[in-house]
């Protein structure tokens, strides 16, 4: 048994991977051969990831606020607390907060010797994001 007290500093989401202010808290990082990694990610309004893929897929579970996600070629979907989203391996997508709402999700990623957790692409432009619905309630 290994207890990690609340002693790991919140990290700022790197500018090359995110638009806006995003804060990341480490939840789990299992040693090999286990491979699950979990992070609690907080997005300020309109903050979002860049387009990216996960070689082994990704599950996100919304814990607070109102968020958005989109796979390449699909509509922007509204996601709320209790919703979970599985992004298929290598499915190009982004996720983030609604324009006028904070959002937090748990992100469950896997990585091993042959697979990184994510491959990062271009930023979601303001034009792409501007088609997101405004959340009125």
Contacts with Mn ion by CB under 5 A lie at 58
In this structure, what is the dihedral angle of CA atoms 86, 107, 54, 8, given to the nearest 10 degrees? -170
Measured CA to CA, the distance from residue 104 to residue 60 in angstroms comes to 10
| Residue facing Mn ion at closest CB distance | 58
Q: Looking at beta carbons only, is 39 or 58 nearer to Mn ion?
A: 58
Q: Looking at beta carbons only, is 45 or 55 nearer to Mn ion?
A: 55
Kindly state the smallest distance separating residue 101's Cβ from Mn ion, in Å. 19
Kindly state the smallest distance separating residue 53's Cβ from Mn ion, in Å. 8
Token readout for 83 is 């919703």
Q: Looking at beta carbons only, is 65 or 96 nearer to Mn ion?
A: 96
Kindly state the smallest distance separating residue 63's Cβ from Mn ion, in Å. 16
Kindly state the smallest distance separating residue 2's Cβ from Mn ion, in Å. 27
Instruction: Give the list of residues 6+ apart from residue 88 with CB closer than 8 angstroms, or none.
Output: 57
Compute CA distances 116 → 33, 89, 119, 120, whole Å.
14, 11, 7, 11
Angle value at C-alpha 51, between 22 and 82, nearest 5 degrees = 60
Q: Looking at beta carbons only, is 19 or 58 nearer to Mn ion?
A: 58
């Amino acid at each position: 048994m290994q207890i990690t007290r609340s002693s790991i500093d919140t990290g700022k989401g790197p500018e090359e991977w995110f638009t806006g202010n995003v804060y990341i808290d480490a939840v789990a990082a299992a040693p090999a051969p286990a491979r699950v990694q979990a992070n609690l990610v907080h997005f300020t309004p309109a903050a979002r990831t860049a387009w990216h893929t996960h070689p082994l897929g990704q599950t996100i579970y919304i814990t607070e606020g109102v968020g958005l996600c989109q796979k390449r070629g699909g509509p922007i979907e509204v996601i709320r607390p209790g919703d979970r989203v599985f992004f298929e391996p290598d499915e190009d997508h982004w996720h983030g907060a609604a324009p006028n709402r904070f959002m937090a999700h748990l992100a469950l990623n896997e990585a091993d010797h042959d697979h990184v957790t994510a491959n990062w692409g271009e930023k979601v432009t303001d034009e792409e994001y501007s088609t997101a619905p405004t959340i009125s309630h």
